[in-house]
Amino acid sequence: MRATLLPVSVHIVVFGIRCEGLAVLLLPRAEMWSLPGGGVEDAEDIHGAALRQLAVQTGLRDVYMEQLYTFDHLDADTVQRTVAVTWYALVPSASSFTKTAAGEWFAVEALPALPAEQAGIVHLARQRLAAKLEYSTIALQLMPERFTLGVLQAVHETVLGTALDKRNFRKRVLAWACIEETGEMAREGHHRPARLYRVTRPGSVEIIK
């Protein structure tokens, strides 16, 4: 007996910080904006396919990426059904990454019309990200190489959609073992300079909290 074969695709919700807000990277396609992604080939596994599509379509490499959920009937409006493995990725803010070759960043609160179910995928990804903020150090994946605690707090507030107490926030993140002072100061703006921190083990997300 021959196994049934199906088209399998990957779709990636790429999050970044733009203009002080959480943003999603979309590509122009078929008269509509759409999530990066595409079909999985024979020679690659689904994780590799997602990384490849990201690199080819957006130029992004070495970003943090996690699997989100696997949907079916994603392309219900087309004749062909597709098994869609979805992922979300986080790119550092203010880095060269945010100036990608193709695609455009949209504030997560103001997305354009998307193909079937993609809006739901973005929503789910955002929920997952917000949940992880509460019990992990995942927000550091959205940070540039050097960052101030003020910016880190702003990112948290942006993703969670709520204001946080400065002192309580600093207490919490300074207890994390995975960030450390650089010794340098951010000298910008007409105000007191802020200490610059960096991540000790980039790419690793600790579950501690």
Q: Which residues bind a second copy (CB under 8 A)?
A: 3-8, 39-42, 45-47, 67, 69-70, 72-73, 80-83, 85
By CB under 7 A, tell whether 209 contacts DNA.
yes
Q: Could you tell me how many residues of this chain bind DNA (CB under 7 A)?
A: 19
The pair phi, psi for residue 184, each rounded to 5°, is: -90, 165
42 or 188: CB nearest a second copy = 42
Whole-angstrom distance, CA of residue 126 vs CA of residue 83: 21
Token reading at 104: 């455009």
Select the binding partner of residue 187 from a second copy, DNA, none (C-beta < 5 to 8 A, by kind): DNA
**Is the CB of residue 56 less than 8 Å from the CB of residue 102?**
no
Q: Which of 108, 122, 100 is nearest to 35 (CA)?
A: 122
Q: State which of residues 195, 202, 205, 206 lies at the interface with DNA (CB under 7 A).
A: 195
Select the binding partner of residue 162 from DNA, a second copy, none (C-beta < 5 to 8 A, by kind): none
By CB under 7 A, tell whether 190 contacts DNA.
yes
By CB under 7 A, tell whether 194 contacts DNA.
yes
Token reading at 40: 């999985």
Judging by beta carbons within 10 Å of its beta carbon (0-12, 13-18, 19+), is residue 164 exposed, middle or buried?
middle
Q: Which residues bind DNA (CB under 7 A)?
A: 148-151, 165-168, 170-171, 187, 189-195, 209
